[in-house]
Amino acid sequence: MPLNLEQKKELVKEVSAVLANADTVLTADYRGLTATQLGEFRKIARNPGIHIKIVKNNMLKMALKDSEYSSVSEKVFGPQILATSSDNPGEFAKLVKRFIDDHENIELKSLAYKGKELDLVEIKKLAALPTYDEAISKLMSVMQAPIQKLMSTMIAVPTKVVRTLDAVKESKN
């Protein structure tokens, strides 16, 4: 059922609001994907901060025109799926890269991060970034290592003295 003018304006506002909050924006041609495969792609959107929507090209171009992602609108043609992430660009890039690697029918049209369009090399770099939780975990282990070394050194000194005294005692017996 076709949308009336008010519904179209509301849809453009909705997409514009999503784009305004997005750190990462992806457009892809989904021709050749089955409904099941599209359902798998939508499962990605169940992660917090990720939004996936199929939008008509003209409405998507209108929403992109006034956003920081206006350069993406040049690549909007054919059936497009719009995916955005507002939280974790590294995790988003990993999920999308894994899905695109598994399904050769989907063609990545553009990926932009904070208004800057990325090429394939930059996308791979973004996908290689650790997630927020992984980064915090690595930071904590790096911060904890000197403390652990200090503690093991402090424990080693009295232990060495005890072993030395024990060796002297054994040699006298």
- Token readout for 97 is 């890269």
Tell me the whole-structure pTM to 2 decimals: 0.65
Q: What's the pLDDT tens digit per position in 97-126?
A: 777 778 777 777 888 888 788 777 777 777
What three-state secondary structure class fits 55? Answer: coil
By percentage, how much of the chain surpasses pLDDT 70?
Answer: 98
Q: Are 22 and 85 in contact (CB under 8 A)?
A: yes
User: How far are the Cα atoms of 64, 91, 98 from residue 128, in angstroms, in the given order?
Assistant: 27, 9, 12
User: What is the pLDDT, as a whole number, of residue 93?
Assistant: 75
- Token readout for 159 is 């232990």
Give Cβ neighbours of residue 95 (< 8 Å, ≥ 6 apart).
44, 47, 50
Answer CATH for 5-129 from 3.40.50.720, 3.30.70.1730, 1.10.1060.10, 1.10.599.10 = 3.30.70.1730
